[in-house]
Amino acid sequence: MAAILGSNADTTLHPPLARSAREQLDTVQALRAVAALCVIGMHIPAIERGAFGVDLFFVISGFIVCHVAASDPGRFMLKRIFRVVPLYWLCTLALFAIAIVVPQLLGATRGDASELLKSLLFVPFVKSNGNIHPLLYLGWTLNYEMLFYGVFALALVLAPRRAHAAAVAALLTLFALGHMVHFDSVPLRFWTAPIVIEFVFGIAAYHVWRSGVLARLPAPAALALALGAWLLMAALRADDTTRPWLWGLPAMVLFLATLSFEPRWRVPTLWLLIGNASYSLYLTHAYVIQALQKKVVPLDDFTPTKVALMLLAVALCCALAVACFRLIERPSNVWLRRRLLQRVVPVADTRRSKHVHTTS
């Protein structure tokens, strides 16, 4: 998720009207937190709403990648890998070990070496339950993220001065192929699904932001647009075909409306912390909820006790995510960059890395 993801330099963005130091867009971090918490809601049986958090992540990802991608596609791709892979591989390997030792604890996840390899390499495959998911089933979104990163890196190689346009053209081509051709190949069928166009929405949002038009959007109008878009996504049901239009486009509106509050709105520190840890939260939350449901009580009704347990579940998910972010996610990213990106960092980049905490 870049949205599901983030790096120490990914949300330090340079607004069109800024004249001095780069600023972190706290509203982007706040939206990461919103997206992750929505996905948590999707996995609580009594709620089962919030899958559109993924669509918001994809829009954010398209936006952030446009900004952080430099002229060097190799460095761009390595930074994305450093950000995504360590925690995802660790969680996948832990799940694989559980599938080997105590398979009765899991459903469709098996201790299959070929499925493990495909999961680690972000190659889509069909699990025994018929879904195209890796071993860590939430990783299906990362298969799309890695596709997007690859497309963008290729665009940087082939058209460095028009990389955004080239990436949009490639994504629209995949989208069109998915409509025109029925692929027997699982990866091709997966990579040409309609949802890939949501990265285009993020790229479009980046150019709207760069134009400076958001600074002229009145706060009441922005608030109405943001709330309206969120309520629309919460109210609508979408399938694979309608998802980009019923959830993706409103997600872009929500994103742009919220971004217009920068820097008018001071985001609470706790909210920023959850946004920083949103990738860890996304990858780990489902297993916390499942453990509570299996060992304590099913969260399938809005009784006072179960509502209290739902709130406890969310708090536990966030606490675990912050721990993962501070102990694994951020240290592994910093270590890999220092070890494997052998280049002197410009002074401006050194200054900005001191106060930015997430990535795309």
pLDDT tens string 269-294:
999 999 999 999 999 999 899 889 88
Any domain includes 176: yes
Residue 132: helix, strand or coil by DSSP?
strand
Instruction: Report how far residue 27's alpha carbon sits from residue 267's, in angstroms, rounded to the nearest whole number.
Output: 7
Measured CA to CA in angstroms, residue 124 lies from 74, 184, 353 at distances of 24, 13, 34
pLDDT tens digit sequence for 70-96: 668 888 899 999 999 999 999 999 999
The H-or-E segment that residue 209 falls in is helix 198-211
26-39: b or e for each residue (b if 16 or more CB lie within 10 Å)?
Answer: bbbbbbbbbbbbbb
pLDDT of residue 360: 46
pLDDT of 100 strictly over 50: yes
Residue 188: helix, strand or coil by DSSP?
helix
Residue 109's pLDDT band (cuts 50, 70, 90): confident
Please report the sign of the dihedral spanned by the C-alpha atoms of residue 167, residue 153, residue 245, residue 215: negative
Query: Mean pLDDT across the stretch 33-57?
Result: 96
Any domain includes 4: no
Between 145 and 357, the more confident residue is 145
Query: Mean pLDDT across the stretch 116-135?
Result: 92
Question: And the tokens for 149?
Answer: 């990163």
pLDDT of 4 strictly over 90: no
> 7 pairs with which residues across the strands?
358
Residue 116's pLDDT band (cuts 50, 70, 90): very high
Residue with tokens 């009207």: 17
Average per-residue pLDDT in the chain? 87
Any domain includes 17: no
pLDDT of residue 102: 80
The answer to whether the CB of 124 falls within 8 A of the CB of 132 is: yes
Instruction: Report how far residue 42's alpha carbon sits from residue 87's, in angstroms, rounded to the nearest whole number.
Output: 22
Between 332 and 350, the more confident residue is 332
Domain count, the chain: 1
pLDDT of 240 strictly over 60: yes
pLDDT of residue 67: 77
Residue 340's pLDDT band (cuts 50, 70, 90): confident
Residue 18's pLDDT band (cuts 50, 70, 90): very low
Residue with tokens 């996905």: 39
Per the structure, the complete domain to which residue 185 belongs is given by 22-352
Any domain includes 9: no
Any domain includes 64: yes
Cβ atoms < 10 Å from Cβ of 339: 9
pLDDT of residue 355: 39
Any domain includes 153: yes
Any domain includes 30: yes
221-252: b or e for each residue (b if 16 or more CB lie within 10 Å)?
Answer: ebeebbeebbebbeeeebeeeebbebbbbbbb
Any domain includes 81: yes
Cβ atoms < 10 Å from Cβ of 132: 16
Instruction: Report how far residue 132's alpha carbon sits from residue 339's, in angstroms, rounded to the nearest whole number.
Output: 35
Residue 349's pLDDT band (cuts 50, 70, 90): very low
What does the CA dihedral 175, 178, 184, 190 come to, rounded to 10 degrees?
A: 40
Cβ atoms < 10 Å from Cβ of 75: 17
pLDDT of residue 24: 66
pLDDT of residue 207: 95
pLDDT of residue 15: 36
pLDDT of residue 294: 84
pLDDT of 224 strictly over 60: yes
pLDDT tens digit sequence for 191-222: 999 999 999 999 999 999 999 999 899 999 99
